[in-house]
Amino acid sequence: MTPLPAGRKCPCGSGATYDICCEPLHDGASAKTAEALMRSRYSAYATGQSDYVFRTWHPRTRPADISPISGVTWVSLEILRTVDGGVFDDTGTVEFRACYDSADGKHVLHETSRFERRAGRWVYVDGDITE
């Protein structure tokens, strides 16, 4: 895990500081919306918290191993569109672009992710990657 200094902006790009944005979710608070879960999952990838990524992935679709990819640095997240996924919804989608650097250069992951509420908590189900 990469510790973040107090007062640092959250990696998810919300503009808020990490301690009031994604950190409470990483520490066990429940995301209120699918977008909030998406942002917190991105921040977990960016800070090396693969245990959080595992816990917030639907057990039906998650892989057995969610190890961080060596040499990848997550740079930015841009939310492009959300459909449903609000406080009164049971399903939602979030389309995003996540930029990252690796040994072979700069890359963009463009995905439309599906989320659902399970036992009252939002979880990531799966997603479609756009080339």
Band of pLDDT at residue 2, cut at 50, 70 and 90? low
Band of pLDDT at residue 70, cut at 50, 70 and 90? confident
Question: Is it the case that residue 90 has pLDDT exceeding 80?
Answer: yes
Task: Determine the distance from the C-alpha atom of residue 20 to the mean position of all C-alpha atoms in its chain, rounded to a whole number.
Answer: 16
Percentages (nearest 5) of helix, strand, coil residues in the chain = 20, 40, 45
Report the pLDDT value the prediction gives residue 67, as an integer from 0 to 100: 86
Question: Is it the case that residue 5 has pLDDT exceeding 90?
Answer: no
Report the pLDDT value the prediction gives residue 97, as an integer from 0 to 100: 98
Pairwise CA distance, residues 108 & 131, whole Å = 9
Band of pLDDT at residue 74, cut at 50, 70 and 90? very high
Q: Give me the residue spans of the domains in the chain.
A: 23-130
Report the pLDDT value the prediction gives residue 103, as an integer from 0 to 100: 94
Question: Is it the case that residue 54 has pLDDT exceeding 70?
Answer: yes
Count other C-beta atoms under 10 Å from residue 37's C-beta.
25
- The string of pLDDT tens digits covering residues 30-52 is 999 999 999 999 999 999 999 99
Strand 105-118 versus strand 73-84 pairing type? unpaired
> Which residues lie across from 122 on neighbouring strands?
117
pTM, full prediction? 0.93
CATH number for region 23-130: 3.10.450.50
